[in-house]
Amino acid sequence: MRDMVSSLHQNAKSVGFVPTMGALHQGHLSLVKQCIADNDICIVSIFVNPTQFNNKEDLDKYPRTLERDCQYLEEAGVNIVFAPTVEEIYPEPDTRQFDFGQLDKVMEGEHRPGHFNGVAQVVSRLFDIVKPDRAYFGQKDFQQLAIIREMVRQLNLKVEIVPMPIVREPSGLALSSRNERLNSEQKEEAVNISKVLFESKEWMKSESVDTVIRKVTEKLDAVKDLRVEYYEIVDGNTLQSIADWKDSEYIVGCIAVFCGEVRLIDNIVYKANS
């Protein structure tokens, strides 16, 4: 991979990179499409990174569909698929500890201790191998995107991070590899997550931040298989909670919900930074 990439750079080819954990869906393919459009060469990695799972069962149950993924990527026109083994990425344990200040103390970071440190470990390692000019990340993982940007800043890396919009099913359900683990009844229930988030954009016009949080949580908790883990309304840059709609010009609501045993995340932009 290193040799290939160095000869590409020597030939002045721009390299775009889409890191994934496989189980690809249209959300990933939208990143791939943009990557192909923007760069001479598009590289996709498929690697289920053990260091970002704080729950062994979640790691074991993560869908692994390498053959099907490679077929999708070939059809999409990807030039190189990089699917290393755990030993190749971590020949010895990665003991690096990143300091992201308050960015990883909230939401996913608070509920999945160590998760973002693992993400930073693997993404920095992959960036070091692939040396991309641009890398593509979905906005469904809103906090992850903020962490990656901060990591790139701290390590002074020369890679442009390209955020890509959430891809949804016609029902509104945000695409996720974890959706594969939902049965058909649960899938219908999970549609309520985006439905309530969209509805909350209306409530925002007349209700306080606290009331919107309470209404979103109550409405979703009332659905049989759903259990809200957190719903936070935050400044889109600092990811810290806001108390009033006037507190920021960039406001995002981020949610994690268990649907049965499957943990889903989604988010909604209340105020976009222009």
Residue type, 177: S
Q: Looking at the annotation, which residues are catalytic?
A: 28
79 interacts with ligand PAF by CB under 6 A: no
49 binds ligand PAF (CB under 6 A): yes
Asked if 122 is part of the footprint of ligand PAF (rule: CB under 6 A), the reply reads: yes
Segment lying near ligand PAF (by CB under 6 A), choices 100-108, 119-127, 153-161, 179-187? 119-127
Residue 144 bridge partners (DSSP): none
CA distance 129 to 89: 10
Using CA atoms, how far apart are residues 143 and 181, in angstroms rounded to an integer? 23
* Structural contact between residues 161 and 118, judged by C-beta atoms closer than 8 angstroms: no
42, 119, 216, 252: which one binds ligand PAF (CB under 6 A): 119
Q: Name the helix (H) or strand (E) containing 6.
A: helix 2-10
Q: Which two tokens stand for residue 83?
A: 């699917």
- d(CA 141, CA 163) in angstroms, rounded, equals 10
Q: Does 78 bind ligand PAF (CB under 6 A)?
A: no
Selected from 8, 44, 123, 147, the binder of ligand PAF by CB under 6 A is 123
Contact call for residue 20 and ligand PAF (CB under 6 A): yes
d(CA 15, CA 4): 11
Q: Per-residue x/- mask for ligand PAF, residues 191 to 210, rule CB under 6 A?
A: --------------------
Tell me: does residue 117 bind ligand PAF (CB under 6 A): no
> Contact residues for ligand PAF (CB under 6 A)?
19-21, 49, 52, 119, 122-123, 141, 144
